[in-house]
Structure 1
Amino acid sequence: MNKLALEKENNNINIFFLNENNLQTRLIEKELAKTPNCLIKKQTDNDLDSPYSSGGTCIVLMNYHSTKGSLYTDLTSTGTFDFKLVVYDVPLGYPYSKSAQWCNLSGIMYEDAPIDHLTRCINTVAKGDLWLPRPLIASMLEHLKTLPPSPMKDIDNLTRREQQILDRLVCGQSNIQIANELFVAESTVKTHIYKLYKKINVSCRKEAIRLFRQCETTTIS
């Protein structure tokens, strides 16, 4: 790959679109098509595929109702990719404290937002900035303050199987790799991951790995 092609690839805005296929999503796709270097990959079922392996920014776009379903659960427990989450159609008055717990949240579009704001939101997030109301950012910071002061205690409370899975998450293994190595079903791995997330008070793989590294540092020191 020549230098020009590599630069173009790294400038891509990769949209991983997790929603039902309906009129609204088609309108959103049409709006996103106005953004240069925007590549869209749709996901409309519960069998979560891998997102983009190419360079550039990976943005997961989903509506508010999808954050309550299995697509969101699978997103936060499957794979090792980095992503920025943008949630649209968020109800007006939805508690900031609940929004703050969405994993890797970088942008919010409320249900009354004009459609053209979506491209502005995507471009802002792709540049590394946030498209969030100030009260929500304050709530996110407050949420960080409430995390357990002793993460080592939470990790020590994991079962032997949960600890085995956490160790493999930290090593970068996917759910299917963990399942094959431990001779269990992938659905069993997902269940263990969900439970260990609850025990150590994290919402995604990245947070779990960061907490593990923090505990390692504390033990060494």
Structure 2
Amino acid sequence: MSVKDKRILLIGLNNMHTELIISQLTKNNMNEVCFKSASHLSLDNQNSKFHLTLVDYQTLKPDSQAMIFLTNPTPKMPILLFNVTNEIPIDTLLTWPQVKGFLSPTASIEHLTKSIDVILDQGLWFPRHTLELMLEHYRSHKDLNRYHAQQPAIPLLTRREKQILSLLTDGKSNMEIAEKLFVAETTVKSHVYNLYKKLDVKCRKEAIYRVTQLKQLEAV
């Protein structure tokens, strides 16, 4: 993006600190810096002319317009948080999909302009520790998804099939199962045959092992 294309929307408090930031950004080749007060923020389509939004982290109160904008910005433009005084939990950060970086209150104007350049160039501006946590989060979820994808699907069993399977894994014979459930042994054999097909096994031993696998999968 060329220098002339940098149009920034700043959402924050109407104070001297904000005025200083706007003044410094304007001096640092930002083509346009528009301020909107967080307390009188209107979420309209006029925001579409900007390329990046700066949001004062201290204005993010529950149910505030600034918080609503952060969780569902319209249009979808990158967001840079500034004046961040505490570590943002990864779970919270992941609910703000357009947030591409954040800065502490002590960040210099050089860091601010540099972070804007990086984000407008499709980059991120997070501390190394935050990036490592985000990477670990994505890796763990990817590994879990891969694990589930590799597991055989849990078959859909009828109530009677579950009863027979439970007794079967307890070591009961077909005759014992029939006596326990007050049904004919041929009925039990028919259910066992259907169970073997659903579990994709050929014998009782394989069925017991398969049930153990499924119980482990359900516990994950």
Bin of the TM-score, shorter chain as denominator length = 0.5 to 0.7
Q: Aligned partners of 2:97, 2:128: CA distance in 1, in Å? A: 18
Higher relative contact order (Cα pairs below 8 Å, separated by 6+ residues): 1
Q: Aligned partners of 1:106, 1:139: CA distance in 2, in Å? A: 15
Give the RMSD, CA atoms, in angstroms.
Answer: 3.0
1:35 corresponding residue in structure 2? 28
What CA deviation, in whole Å up to 9, does each residue of 1:59-89 have, x standing for no partner? 110111223332221353363x221110011
Which of the numbers 54, 61, 75 marks the counterpart of 1:61? 54
| CA shift in 2, pair 1:93/1:78, >3 Å | closer
8 Å CA contact 1:18, 1:61 repeated in 2: yes
What CA deviation, in whole Å up to 9, does each residue of 1:42-65 have, x standing for no partner? 2211322334444xx711101112
How far apart are 1:106 and its partner, in Å? 1.2
Matched, 1:18 2:11: yes
Q: Aligned partners of 1:78, 1:91: CA distance in 2, in Å? A: 22
2:117 corresponding residue in structure 1? 123
TM-score normalised by structure 1 residue count: 0.53
SS in 2 for 1:110: coil
| CA shift in 2, pair 1:92/1:71, >3 Å | closer
Q: Aligned partners of 2:82, 2:4: CA distance in 1, in Å? A: 24
For 1:41-190, list aligned pairs within 5 A.
41-44=34-37, 45-54=40-49, 58-68=51-61, 69-77=64-72, 79=74, 81-144=75-138, 145-146=140-141
Q: Aligned partners of 1:37, 1:22: CA distance in 2, in Å? A: 20
How far apart are 1:126 and its partner, in Å? 1.4
How far apart are 1:118 and its partner, in Å? 0.9
TM-score normalised by structure 2 residue count: 0.53
Q: Percent identity?
A: 24
Q: Unpaired segments of 5 or more residues in structure 2? A: 149-220
